[in-house]
Each structure stands twice: as C-alpha cells, then as structure tokens.
C-alpha cells in the first residue's frame, strides 16, 4: 500500500506495534485472525503439495483437503464480511484520510472473492477427478494448486496492506473509537 494511503505506517512501525500503549484486544485479535488465515491457507497448500509429491494417496487428500479448505474459505469470507459491514465503515468515520485506503481494501475483497470462487470451482473439479479416477487427477490437482496459489498471493498482499492501515490507525486513535 502506498505511503500516502498508509500515512500512519511511518509513525507506527510494525516492530513497535505490540509494545504501544494503544495495542489492545482488538488489534491483537485482528493480528490473530490474519495469522490464522495465513496458516489455514498454508495447510491446504501443504496437503495438495503432499499429494502432488506422491506422499499421500487420493483418498487421504480428500479426507484432509475438504474440511481444511471449507474451514479456510468460510473463515476468509466471514472475516471480509465483518470488515466490510462493521469495521471498515467505522474506520472511514474515524479519519477521512483513511477512506481511500479502505476503498482499496474493499476492492481487494472483490478480487479475492472472485479468486475464492475460482478456487472452489477447481476444488470441485479436483474432487470429481479423484472420484472418477479417469486419469485427470494430476492435471486437476495442478489447476487447483495454481488457483489457490493465486488466491493466497492476493490474500498475503491484502493482509499486509490491511495491517499497515488498520493497526497504526488503532494505535493513533485508540480502540474505544471503534
């Protein structure tokens, strides 16, 4: 995120966030949720990579993959809905200089959602290929891996940008303002 949008980032470097007097439960929760999303996405990739590397069989992939992917995608969707409908509007009211940054984050949510939909489509194709065992399992796995890789790339950048905007704003204005 550009410095003019994340204008508080220079005043509140990430290395100092947790020691700041205004780093409270909301900031800590926000960071925890982002850490969980990163971890959940990485878990899905690890499972798929284990199958691609022939470390696990298709049945084990299905058993491990489906619940983890569902949990990750539901968590991500729920997190973005709460942000879009609760927190982002409050941040916009808190400081007009934050509006353009939150507009960018909401635009990211749309891109991430489109990628999420493509990820679900490729996951369904992968599961169908595994069930049919007609020889297309590896290609379906590769397509899914490419799709979730794209989703996670978008998500990693988005989470970093969001943290650069949200956490310094919480430190500047305090959590009670929200």
Task: Note the pTM of the prediction, 2 decimals.
Answer: 0.91
pLDDT interval class at 91 (50, 70, 90)? very high
Say which residue the tokens 């590896």 belong to: 138
Say which residue the tokens 């960071």 belong to: 31
Q: Which residues neighbour 117 within 8 Å (Cβ) at sequence distance 6 or greater?
A: none
DSSP H stretches of helix in the chain: 25-52, 58-82, 88-94, 99-132, 137-173
Question: Which one-letter DSSP state was computed for residue 1?
Answer: -
Instruction: Give residue-wise pLDDT tens across range 134-163.
Output: 778 889 999 999 999 999 999 999 999 999
Give the span between the Cα atoms of 174 and 167, in whole angstroms: 10
Q: Please, are residues 65 and 48 in contact by the beta-carbon 8 Å criterion?
A: yes
Q: Output the pLDDT for position 169.
A: 95
Give the span between the Cα atoms of 61 and 46, in whole angstroms: 10
Give the span between the Cα atoms of 167 and 80, in whole angstroms: 16
Instruction: Give residue-wise pLDDT tens across range 106-120.
Output: 999 999 999 999 999
Q: Output the pLDDT for position 132.
A: 85
Q: Residue 89 pLDDT more than 80?
A: yes
Query: Domains of the chain, with CATH numbers?
Result: 14-177 (1.20.120)
Four-residue CA torsion sign, 150, 151, 156, 160: positive
Q: Output the pLDDT for position 28.
A: 97
Q: How far is CA 176 from CA 23, 26, 101, 169, 172, in A?
A: 11, 10, 21, 12, 11
| Mean pLDDT confidence for 7-19 | 95
What the block records as the tokens of 2 is 């550009």
Q: Output the pLDDT for position 46.
A: 96
| Mean pLDDT confidence for 81-93 | 92
Q: Output the pLDDT for position 133.
A: 77
């Amino acid at each position: 995120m550009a410095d003019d949008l994340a204008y508080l980032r220079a005043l509140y470097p990430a290395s100092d966030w947790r020691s700041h007097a205004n780093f409270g439960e909301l900031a800590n929760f926000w960071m925890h949720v982002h850490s969980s999303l990163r971890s959940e996405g990485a878990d899905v990739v690890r499972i798929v990579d284990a199958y691609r590397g022939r470390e696990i069989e298709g049945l084990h992939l299905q058993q491990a993959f489906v619940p983890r992917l569902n949990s990750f995608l539901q968590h991500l969707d729920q997190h973005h809905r709460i942000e879009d409908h609760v927190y982002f509007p409050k941040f916009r009211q808190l400081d007009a200089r934050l509006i353009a940054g939150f507009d960018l984050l909401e635009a990211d949510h749309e891109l991430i959602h489109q990628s999420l939909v493509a990820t679900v489509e490729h996951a369904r194709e992968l599961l169908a290929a595994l069930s049919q065992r007609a020889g297309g399992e590896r290609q379906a796995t590769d397509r899914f891996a490419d799709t979730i890789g794209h989703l996670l790339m978008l998500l990693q950048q988005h989470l970093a940008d969001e943290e650069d905007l949200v956490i310094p704003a919480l430190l500047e204005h305090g959590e009670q303002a929200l």
